[in-house]
Structure 1
């Protein structure tokens, strides 16, 4: 991976960070300590760290299991829902309030996709992609959207990365790795990042929908989730190419 190098040993994993612009080593070390204290067994246990080294290093326990791939069904649906819930709600509110915000915020993402959308719209000859870009560009320019996304949602601990590869399944339970961008976040944004991540849609889109349906949302959370999912879908529409982009265009139009 571009942001770090990983050395897997018999009992521990050594992670060396090539990038620290978002305090990735510090975020990861903090997350491992908090989850070890309040949700033990869910994530690697912290072993040691040298955050001032060049490159910074974090050593953590090695977990069993493999990255989730293929069909998401049966016990795996419940195990994923349980893992997501424990990550988000395992840390008590008093401790969560002391955690810095995660790297990236809905408004920051909105500004990013607005900047990408204008030059992208006229460049694609695929009619479905062109329609999706036009519709998404109109949505992202909607007056008041920035104000909606700026409102604070339900506070949770966020991993900052919805990649399915960060969820390890051993046949019994799911555990979570990779907290480089983690921090205090809001529930809807985190769930949108999981539900709309391109790794999920390339793997089993229907299975992850079943996972999210296991999570009870308030009416306010559900409304915010819709807007955040549109934002994440547009992000991936603008980042992908080829057949994947065509499929993402269909997804974008469905969300709109």
Structure 2
């Protein structure tokens, strides 16, 4: 068993995780830990769950690994039946909230540290150009309205960190559902595709996973904007560590 104790509760993390484990145990058994017990009012709150096999993905995502990742991502999103999903609270940190955060960082001049550091690197001009173009995109007056439009409803894990995808050589299991809730498919895919763990660990991108997923025209169009938003979020959050080339490829 694993006992998880929560240091942060401002987004209802213990309740979200306990709810997610119950839903996945019922509708997608074997994909995530089995919920055992919870003390949601404890100091600190805690959740007890089964231990699952595997280790975090830290290799090039191709072949059977890309197959397994795509299957896990698609399965978790489609697991909860629509009638049940309607009653699930929205995930913590949706696209509109993330846009407001990014706009706040840019308005407050948070990009200065990125550019200052970038000018000491060989890719200074590329990084500065990425920031200029990103700033122009994020200021579009209709952007918030477009992101607020409902996409294809899915169950969202709320966290695209590759450390949460445990690979045992044949299948992927998921852990960590502190921000989970009702979401939309494009935003959840962007969360995985553009998470900083993909680029920091030398994994080399998740295009192999995306190629294995079938998207509608509307999902594909929304995915572009959601990927831009998530890429910009990580570019600013990690400051000079983030890969500007990824931003340029999406703008």
Same-fold call, TM > 0.5?
A: yes
Tell me how far apart the structure 2 counterparts of residues 205 and 223 of structure 1 sit (CA, whole Å). 25
Tell me how far apart the structure 1 counterparts of residues 94 and 235 of structure 2 sit (CA, whole Å). 19
Tell me how far apart the structure 2 counterparts of residues 165 and 154 of structure 1 sit (CA, whole Å). 26
Tell me how far apart the structure 2 counterparts of residues 32 and 54 of structure 1 sit (CA, whole Å). 21
Tell me how far apart the structure 2 counterparts of residues 99 and 79 of structure 1 sit (CA, whole Å). 26
Structure 2 SS opposite 1:55: coil
Question: Is this contact kept in 2: 1:15–1:58, CA < 8 A?
Answer: yes
Aligned partner of 1:98 in structure 2 is 87
Count of residues in correspondence between the two structures: 242
Cα RMSD over matched residues?
1.2
- Structure 1 consecutive aligned stretches of length 4 or more whose deviation exceeds 6 Å: none
Aligned partner of 1:52 in structure 2 is 41
Structure 2 SS opposite 1:184: strand
Tell me how far apart the structure 1 counterparts of residues 91 and 112 of structure 2 sit (CA, whole Å). 34
Write out aligned runs for 1:1-256 (5 A): 12-118=1-107, 119-123=109-113, 124-125=115-116, 126=119, 127-204=125-202, 206-242=204-240, 244-245=241-242, 248-256=243-251
Question: Is this contact kept in 2: 1:166–1:178, CA < 8 A?
Answer: yes
Higher relative contact order (CA 8 A, sep 6+): 2
Tell me how far apart the structure 2 counterparts of residues 255 and 205 of structure 1 sit (CA, whole Å). 19
Question: Is this contact kept in 1: 2:102–2:233, CA < 8 A?
Answer: yes
Aligned partner of 1:4 in structure 2 is none
TM-score by length of 1: 0.92
TM-score by length of 2: 0.93
